[in-house]
Structure 1
């Protein structure tokens, strides 16, 4: 019996110490790894299999854009290829950099083109190193939407951004979290303005730039100059972008897709919550599958579904109860869940 699934591709921050060796464990011998390695060598960069096969994990080596982006792309794209034959992918979306992977997973970029886009943008972001990001919860531990709390946090962001030299904007709407981006002055002022939660938040994201803000316009322009629209084609599967807009097979303007990917997607807020909710409402899947590496995106998917009341779920407890009956969400980065969808 086939299963209708929405595929979700992760972004930066998902290849960490536990993920070292992910490609070797799950995709050793895949000929695409040779292709990806050759593309890296041609640019004078360390091959992905060498990064993945390192003796030990290094934040300085593995979490920078030049390395993290291609590692995550290779893991996620090859995970998509590993799905069991009875999994019917009815739509694809992704978080932030995961949009580039989603393009390839849906066929709007071929495997090599997707790697080129990810590798190029990861390098450009790293070279520019404009600003940074932090994460802060906008819901409580029960995941119930808290509009007043969210509005208050965004008002704090607005006030910080409107005064002096500080720059701070919403970067990603990530389920129960707000990802904020700006310059150091803006990030520091926010950190000083909100309560510290769980001993972790507000949490700065290492080696992350001010993604999805106007600060990235120079990077977006460099991306448009380096990556022609000829890399793009009609998607084979519907794509849901960071606005919640759907790019349909046979009805997608290639130039418009290129312009969004290397324009709005880079310089404007990314609404991952809305993308997940649109996927649920428009495609009514049996399951949401988050490709590896890592499993940090699963919580954001679940929180987005709870915020939208999917299947009558309005809290963490309701989601957990539903998930225990029949898996609604599968993270391929978790060994015990991976086998559910790989056969």
Structure 2
């Protein structure tokens, strides 16, 4: 049985995440200390003590989620003998989780990743004035239908598929009026539910081009190494290892669709049966089980999860 390591995206954050790991394991604490030093501030105080509305700010949530994922991975390495190079056929992450995946696979340093995500969060927030853009979840429709609805709703504005999450869940993003139209059209096309999401900006659509430009500049200034194992890129749903291509696809990702359903389908088609979600929450584990028949999705983000995930990875290693 083959394993893949996956890393969660924005929305999985919660005040207090990662604190039990940091309290119990020096390897986890070291990651949080490194992130604080890289940012020149105590992000850990916000992660562990809140308030929630401050943690939810995009510029904080993105590096915070990465910090929890990498702290969790370091504990898996030190306490469970887990090795990305040996135990993972692929790494993949949902949106910002792609940066966590690259740090986990040694393509980016933790310090550079923290600074990149702080830049990314600020740039995505600034790209579109509040109220101009929106996102909505269309549930119970396949991807092609959702894309057609978004195209019909655009009417000269921006409206497109931002996330193809799988399990009949597609998120559309764009100008507020166009997204409102998409919600109404979807309700008439048999969607189980169609609802606006409580987000601060319209991520993963053409309105994010200023943020993509900012990330192109930021990424040009950091060292990217070939990852220990291939990254299944959001915008391709296919594996990449070239540092130059990684840099290019991370820029494209800001305005492009997160092709999560296809990414999981690809990995399952390559023999992956165990998907280990590393970090906060269990969103990706739930999606995996709805996308790939027979796949095992397991999440690790607290000390209580370590033993079970160690056993699951050992079983995968043994085949």
**TM-score band, normalised by the shorter chain?**
0.7 to 0.9
Matched, 1:256 2:245: yes
1:179 aligns to what? Answer: 171
Contact 2:32/2:71 (8 A) holds in 1: no
Once the two structures are TM-superposed, the CA of residue 285 in structure 1 deviates from its matched residue by 3.0
Matched residues, number? 295
Say if 1:331 and 1:338, in contact at 8 Å, map to a contact too.
no
Partner of 2:309: 341
Shift, 1:256, TM fit:
2.4
User: Which protein is richer in helix relative to its size?
Assistant: 2
1:276 is matched with: 264
Q: Could you tell me whether the CA contact under 8 Å between 2:136 and 2:179 is conserved in 1?
A: yes
Return the match for 1:66 from 54, 59, 71: 59
Aligned to 1:82, the other structure's residue is in SS state helix
CA contact under 8 A between 1:330 and 1:338: conserved in structure 2?
Answer: no
Instruction: Name the CA shift for 1:333/1:193 in 2 (closer, same or farther; >3 Å).
Output: farther
**1:211–1:267 Cα contact (<8 Å) kept:** yes
**Alpha carbons of structure 1 residues 47 and 129: separation in structure 2 relative to 1, 3 Å:** farther
Structure 1 regions of 5+ residues with no counterpart? Answer: 140-146, 312-318, 320-327
> What is the aligned counterpart of 2:288 among 281, 297, 301?
301
Q: Distance in 1 between matches of 2:195 and 2:229?
A: 35
Shift of 1:98: 1.0
Q: 1:260 to 1:4 in 2, by over 3 A?
A: same
Which residue in 2 is equivalent to 1:7?
5
What's the TM-score, normalizing by structure 1? 0.78
**Of the candidates 254, 273, 277, which is equivalent to residue 290 of structure 1?**
277
Identify the residue that residue 114 of structure 1 maps to in structure 2: 113
Structure 1 moving runs of 4+ over 6 Å: none
Between stretches 286-295 and 187-196, larger displacement belongs to 187-196
- Determine if contact 2:69/2:301 at 8 Å carries over to the other structure: no
Q: Say if 1:94 and 1:101, in contact at 8 Å, map to a contact too.
A: yes
**How much does 1:40 deviate?**
2.2
Instruction: Give me the CA root mean square deviation.
Output: 2.6
What is the aligned counterpart of 1:193 among 179, 185, 196?
A: 185
Once the two structures are superposed, residues 240-297 of structure 1 have per-residue CA deviations (whole angstroms, 9 ceiling, x without a partner) of 111122124xxx2x222212112x2112212111111111222x23411011201122
Note the residue ranges of structure 2 that are not aligned, 5 or more in a row. 312-319
**Which residue number corresponds to residue 136 of structure 2?**
134
* Contact 2:34–2:110, Cα closer than 8 Å, also in 1: no
